[in-house]
Structure 1
Amino acid sequence: MLRNPAILFALVLVPLALASLMVGAAGLGTSALAADGWLVLTVSRLPRTLAVILTGAALSVAGVVMQQLVRNRFVEPGTTGTAEGAALGLLLVNASFPGAPIWSQMLAASVAALASTWLFLRLVRRLPVREVLLVPLVGMILAGILQAVVTFIGWETDLLQFVSVWLMSGEFSGVISGRYELLWVAGGAAALAFVAADRFAILGLGTDRATSLGLKPEAVMRLGLVVVAVVTAMVVATVGMVPFVGLVVPNITQRLMGDNLRRTLPATALGGAALVLACDLIGRLVRYPYELPVGSVLGVIGACLFLWLLWRRPAPSTPAVRRHG
């Protein structure tokens, strides 16, 4: 195990962030302080880079929290119906109240994401304890059902174009100053997970053992649900759902650093930010000056990383899958 992969992830993240500030169809001119160059930098490049970093970090932390709640390493908010629930909340608000303020849309998305995640947890509690692969399967079935409902409502209300943005794009080309700030709320929710890291780690031992250690499992479960729901809702509403980040990054950091959640969360956040930023740069460069959505690039890279995690055997002291409670 590496002693501190967070340092390595940080060293990778810094040059990626600098490259993100420099890459784009519009040039910065001879000097970054030139009028046009400074405008591009502050209105477009810097907000986009910050949005990518916040998205990757928050989704990675939300993936860790989700895995602790379910005690299964094969789940993330994008495969448990949470993203589809957030999209359903946004769709209902936009269909019923087209002029609704942004805060009401975010509230509806968070509540719907919270409800869909709670439903997923209720379903997996009824599964046999040893059938760990049934957990992600149930999540994908629930996500498929919710996506079908969202698609039907979007078709009937002529809002199908919004559904494709929320669930199928995962891209940052439209991010400018004034249109990404909600992601700071997602970052705050991820920071809250770090504050409660020890509680989530104890909850991952099982409800009975957590109770015997003096923890209130239901209270920690509610906190985890809020963190996952808020992060997912903010990301879906701002840039669309980004796949695989909350799945592969927590597994990689866990294999590198072990199960100490307080130590692994900073590395997980930095690793998620670096992965999404690298995929965003690939999408911007592969067909320059045109762009590929980061969701498409991550769909390929994330799938390869996930298959590698399945093929590579974990160390005996750090099992890749825990039983769900």
Structure 2
Amino acid sequence: MSNYHQPEPFLILAIVATALLALVSLFVGVSDVSLPALLAGTAEPRAVEVFLVSRVPRTLALVLAGASMAIGGLVMQMVVRNRFVEPSTTGTSESAALGFLTVTLLAPGWPLVAKMAVSALFALGGTALFLRILKAVPLRDVLLVPLVGIMLGGVIGALTAFIAYRANLMASLLAWNMGDFSGVIRGRYELLWIGLVCCVLAYVAADRFTVAGMGKDFTTNLGLNYKRVMTLGLVIVSLVSAVVLVSVGSIPFLGLIVPNIVSLMVGDNMRRTVPWVTVGGAAMVLACDIVGRLIRFPYEIPIAVVMGVVGAAVFLYLLLRTPRHA
């Protein structure tokens, strides 16, 4: 049997492994929270409060953020038709940060949902600008696409840093760009459920994205509206980027490495890969967060640092193994 037709039991095993990582995440931390005591009802009130107010919301945030960012990367790769792109290598995350900074300066009293919407609009505009630049640049090498995105992200990031410096908001900008779940508590992560909705939308439209990945002419010949599919994909990517940025900060490389690893395992059909990418993204974030909490216990390393190291290594491996003419 080929790798493309992996049996479903492997997906079930992946879900079970992710659930075990989530269980471990619930009981890793400085505060002493015991599973037997919770089950027996003998845990101290403070331990129960920490479990319900901090540990459970943090674990849910890890799962939701990991799954949605991985799906955002998968959709981005389908839209751009390049395996080496994701929101952090196309200027999308930087545009979302610029939008969040802008609305923070101009309308600081707006609710978080409204700020997230503005951030998503900026992310959508930044992604559209990236696609416009790709049309104007003759790309003969698969590696030039992420290079263009990284340069665009650098320009947008420099502009954002300049505005933040003049407004004395550099500390806030650093927090937005450095993904960290240590501050997640009940009432401060619920926007991430929007990311789960985006995952469901990606699964529903998976066949359309697969066809769109074949090119505009091929998609049109099959009777699909290419622009409509592209717009849906950009909206999903923008919403995911904005929601994760506003809630926990930016998480680099996640949307790049997980879809590529899944593609090597189960093929390129998006209908089949969406569940794998969802589970893989959640598992990757859970594992990196646990490592960040344990490597210097009782201190904690932000997940963006751990993911940056792991993601950079996997990214280099993917670059070195990919033929230049791919």
**TM-score, normalised via structure 1 length:** 0.94
Aligned partner of 1:274 in structure 2 is: 283
Partner of 1:81: 91
> Of the candidates 196, 215, 240, which is equivalent to residue 231 of structure 1?
240
1:2-56 CA-partner distances (Å, limit 9, x unpaired): 4344233212211111100011111125712432222111100010001011111
What are the superposed Cα offsets for residues 73-109 of structure 1, whole Å, 9 maximum, x if unpaired?
0000011111111111111111112212112201110
How far apart, in 2, do the equivalents of 1:270 and 1:10 lie? 6
**Uncovered stretches (5+) of structure 1, i.e. residues with no partner:** 315-319
CA pair 138-238 structure 1, distance change in 2 beyond 3 A: same
Match of 1:154 among 132, 156, 164: 164
Mapped contact 2:139–2:145 kept (Cα < 8 A): no
Q: Does 1:203 align with 2:212?
A: yes
Task: Say which is worse superposed, 297-306 or 137-146, in terms of deviation.
Answer: 297-306
CA distance in 2, matches of 1:142, 1:52: 28
Q: Is the 8 A contact 1:65 1:228 kept in 2?
A: yes
- Conserved in 2, the CA contact under 8 Å of 1:74 and 1:247? yes
CA contact (8 A) 1:182 1:234 kept: yes
Deviation at 1:126, TM superposition (A): 2.3
Q: Given residue 291 of structure 1, which amino acid in structure 2 is its aligned partner? A: E
Q: CA deviation at 1:205?
A: 0.2
**Corresponding position of 2:20:** 15
Q: Secondary structure at the match of 1:72?
A: coil
- Indicate conservation of the 8 Å contact 2:254/2:281, yes or no: yes
Higher helix share: 2
Alignment of 1:99-248 (within 5 A): 99-167=109-177, 169-248=178-257
Give RMSD over aligned pairs: 1.6
Structure 2: runs of 5 or more not aligned: none
| 2:32 corresponds to | 27
Give the deviation of 1:285 after TM superposition. Answer: 0.3
Structure-2 separation of matches of 1:254 and 1:191: 19
Q: Deviations over 1:211-267 (max 9, x none)?
A: 001010000011001000000000011111101110010001011101111011100
1:58 offset after TM fit, Å?
Answer: 0.4
**Native 8 Å contact 2:141 2:325 kept in 1:** no
* Residue correspondences, number: 316
Cα gap change, 1:309/1:194 in structure 2, threshold over 3 Å: closer, same or farther? same
SS of equivalent residue, structure 1 residue 31: helix
Separation (CA, whole Å) in 1 of partners of 2:262 and 2:296:
31
| Matching residue of 2:59 | 49
- Counterpart of 2:106 in structure 1 is 96
Amino acid at match of 2:61: A
Is the CA contact 1:81–1:120 (under 8 Å) kept in the aligned structure 2?
A: yes
Q: Secondary structure at the match of 1:214?
A: coil
